[in-house]
Structure 1
Amino acid sequence: MTSATGRPGPLDLDVLRVFCGPDGLCGNALGVVRDGAAVPGEAARQDLARRLGHSETVFVDDDERGVVDIYTPTLRLPFAGHPCVGTAWLLDLPELHTPAGVVTARQDGEFSWITARPEWAPARVLRQYGSASEVDALDVPPPGEWVYAWAWEDEAAGRVRARAFPGRIDERGVSRSGGAGACTGGIDEDEATGAAALLLTAALGRALNIRQGAGSQILTAPNPDGTVEVGGRVQLVGP
């Protein structure tokens, strides 16, 4: 058998969906290579992440300490929200070591949580609208800024409606002007964006229950030390 690395032998790969809705659907796709040593070097990992085509692919370099290496199809990332949530759930570890820093993790019933610092997240334009219906009605904006469009569904309860538009260039370093996304059918829009949820929570200074995209759910909570917890449901799709 030939693995996804192009060498003999199967690749130890799990595929997850992270930030699923209450029905278990939607969320963002994540590939986790449990044996990172099977794909040594940034060039080989980048090539595999590109060929797998998941929103992100994580290479586990130490499954006891939780040392991880995160790639989009075109770019290595020091930190990303949904890859950390999904990998911590899969490995059942209390922390992950990313290039950005140590991400603590916990399980709470059906939700998997991580704690991270807002400054680790890429910059986003957080654009508030007057109502959830306005967010629902938005067309994909013209190429330009990475926009996280949001509105209160219920401000007292911390319920937010959000959509994410990467614009011309996102953290993957590629054009997002067309194609298929995680759940909505168009890569003009990201279905579930943990980093943007982290930034919005830090900006508002309160816990949020975010409904993003076609049906994903992201929960957040700020901590007194400036870190933010981000949590959601994780589903194992298959090897």
Structure 2
Amino acid sequence: MRMTVLVVRVFTDEAGSFGNELGVVLDAAGLPDELGPRLTAHLGFHETVFVDDLAHADLRIFAPTAELPLAGHPLVGVARVLADVTGRVPEVLRPRLVDPVETWQDGELTWIRANTASAPEFAFTQLDSPAEVEALSLPVPGQAPKDQFWAWIDEPAGELRARTFAEALGMGEDEATGSAALLQAQRHGRELTIRQGRGSVLHARPAPQPGWSEVGGRVVDEQERVVEL
């Protein structure tokens, strides 16, 4: 089977560097579920998105091991892809396994608003300094299956340094974890700037609805790929 995969990087820094790569397949309604994890693993990405209905933004999110209900960087990334393809930002995205997710553009940032009850469970381990976060290496002693290690860079400004390790999702280190950012916003009850991985930047804040959060970031295009599986 031959597929065209649109590729973007999500949660880049201010210069458009770093971020998490995402593959997006349009017109995917006829593609079987088992193809999603295979394609994700083949690309070497943490997630890919199958868009089953372009007009209604119906979609499926796949990790290398399974379909995911909610994932931050795939939803932010596919919102930007759909805006580029259709000429407008969709009002909502409709992942197959969870409630619709609102989305919008604000300047350079693409945002989503989601119910954090649908996010994967993460452990959050606070360290004393950004330098301690920088010094982590795999395997991390005592690491939970999905664990974000973090420290304040500037607590009054809401800026923190983070690294996420998620072996339970078929990953080692995740460069930019939007679902963890949604949960961090709930945990702290405030607006945050999260500098994760090698240099990715995520913006997160609690939403007006109890139990919901918002995460946003910059998205840049990469060259599309033609894949045969």
Question: What's the counterpart of residue 194 of structure 1?
Answer: 178
Q: How does 1:140-179 map to 2 (within 5 A)?
A: 140=138, 141-142=140-141, 144-145=143-144, 146-166=146-166, 169-171=167-169, 174=170, 176=171
Query: For 2:56, what is the secondary structure of its paired residue?
Result: coil
Question: What's the counterpart of residue 118 of structure 2?
Answer: 120
Query: For 2:79, what is the secondary structure of its paired residue?
Result: helix
Question: What's the counterpart of residue 19 of structure 1?
Answer: 11
Tell me how far 1:90 sits from its aligned partner: 1.0
Task: Answer with 197-206 or 126-135: which moved more.
Answer: 126-135
Question: What's the counterpart of residue 29 of structure 1?
Answer: 21
**Aligned with residue 72 of structure 2, among 81, 85, 91:** 81
Question: What's the counterpart of residue 233 of structure 1?
Answer: 218
Question: What's the counterpart of residue 46 of structure 1?
Answer: 37
- 2:212 corresponds to 1:219: no
- 2:94 corresponds to 1:97: yes
Please tell me the residue identity of whatever aligns with 1:126.
Answer: F
Query: For 1:36, what is the secondary structure of its paired residue?
Result: coil
Over residues 33-60 of structure 1, what are the superposed CA-to-partner deviations in whole Å (9 max), with x where a residue is unaligned?
Answer: 01113x5221233333332332211000
Question: What's the counterpart of residue 86 of structure 2?
Answer: none
- 2:193 corresponds to 1:209: yes
Query: How many residue pairs are counted as aligned between the two chains?
Result: 214
Cα RMSD, aligned residues only: 1.5
Query: For 2:176, what is the secondary structure of its paired residue?
Result: coil
Residues 50 and 138 (structure 1), Cα distance of their counterparts in 2 relative to 1, 3 Å cut: closer
Question: What's the counterpart of residue 131 of structure 1?
Answer: 129
Please tell me the residue identity of whatever aligns with 2:156.
Answer: A
- 2:16 corresponds to 1:61: no
TM-score of the aligned structures, taking structure 1 as reference length: 0.85
Please tell me the residue identity of whatever aligns with 1:97.
Answer: R
Question: What's the counterpart of residue 106 of structure 1?
Answer: 104
TM-score of the aligned structures, taking structure 2 as reference length: 0.88
Q: Distance in 1 between matches of 2:195 and 2:39?
A: 31
Q: Distance in 2 between matches of 1:47 and 1:131?
A: 38
Residues 46 and 132 (structure 1), Cα distance of their counterparts in 2 relative to 1, 3 Å cut: closer
Q: Distance in 2 between matches of 1:74 and 1:41?
A: 15
Q: Distance in 2 between matches of 1:233 and 1:101?
A: 24
Q: Whose strand fraction is larger, Structure 1's or Structure 2's? A: 2
Asked if 1 retains the 8 angstrom alpha-carbon contact of 2:46 and 2:174, the reply is no
Tell me how far 1:124 sits from its aligned partner: 0.7
Please tell me the residue identity of whatever aligns with 1:122.
Answer: P
Please tell me the residue identity of whatever aligns with 1:102.
Answer: P
Tell me how far 1:197 sits from its aligned partner: 0.9
Identity of counterpart residues, as a percentage?
43
Q: Distance in 2 between matches of 1:31 and 1:115?
A: 21
Residues 14 and 116 (structure 1), Cα distance of their counterparts in 2 relative to 1, 3 Å cut: same
Q: Distance in 2 between matches of 1:162 and 1:53?
A: 22
Please tell me the residue identity of whatever aligns with 2:206.
Answer: P
